[in-house]
Structure 1
């Protein structure tokens, strides 16, 4: 691995992607506490909310209140998921409390896109281009997440060529995130997708989002670092999943990923012990018997 000694950014997605698949809906005050604890553990880029329909994703119904209440600190950037133009309007209406970044999801599968967003991938891309232009004009950093890039729960394998077409047709943006939404990916796919999208990405940084459904998430994370991805999504405790994809279990765990990267001389800025404590804490708030993360049980190892 040629990345030793450099930094890899961990994007904490627990307060959004982690909580949205949990049955218990947490009060705003607990969500804000969750974010504050993540910041104290060294995380500096945190997805805190989604502007989604409350009837479909009740866990995110208080998106505005969360963004008004999270602590604002120098160097800490907050991300919100936006699904359409109405979501962007909600973000803009927050004015001083608005997020720093917008994350928009386009699904690399027509079947999944229709079930999840009620439109084809091409239609979703057209909507993204409009939202991205408005968001960038308003000063937001814009990420396009290509969901189901590694496989679709309804139609099966997804071609890297199709993912390349999605990226090529996306238009101007600031970051591309390739997501294994249902946790079917393996390291060779990471390499194949990187090779497919990089020629059409125009130098835009690559980020990856892995779920550990089939216990390949951490291997995929290392493969992504080796391929030059500069940021990796993870959730404290390894909580989460996708409410619209069958059997999509949690994200790779922030504390476990930070241990892996820190111990490989890849700087993350995350305090593993503090992160593990937050992972255990959020599991308690959600009434989980145990969280998927291992570090809360095993502890750090001093080298």
Structure 2
């Protein structure tokens, strides 16, 4: 996990180049927090009919606290249903940026979970700016980005302003494209890996069949399919060896039939 205090400085969106989604989301959230002076933020990505928690950052928390917060949130999902009262869901469904000055003075949305979070971790969530992540080329949404607690130069919590909304609106599309590119790359790698695994499994099965066939040919008579002398010698040797190791007595019964070769070769 990346410490919220330790990150690669991002000058612009062109610097957001990662091969894995987790690292990309870290850089995206750090970049957007920087340009809006937000203390904290989170990203939720579309997962079927839900918005699934992906990442959380808070500059007021230590590395240990961030880790403590993210573990219970890793399975957090919000069902995408209208009039849910959940800020992230409403922003996604309405495809609209929503700005809240103070969650403790707002009755339009359900902030129960945010208030419980504050109580549990000794935090104070005040202002929230939530925006859908939209690909304007095909008008699809892939998730929601949420910023928490804008700070002024003295560190005092203030409301997000028009410039913050404009900045987030301008970057939302490019952020979405970056996430899409990494998701598609990871999906392609997954398909290639699965294809290789299938081929290896088939090859392994084929090799086992060949090995079983060679073993059968080595130990059986090609005409009758009965075990041959090689098999008899090996199995007898193993029996004798096991008896010696166990220090127990044993016996081998051999039945010899005269002229059986003629019958064996004929039938």
Report the TM-score, using the length of structure 1 for normalisation: 0.27
User: Which is higher, the Rg of structure 1 or of structure 2?
Assistant: 2
| Relative contact order, higher structure (CA 8 A, sep 6+) | 1
Select the structure that is richer in helix: 2
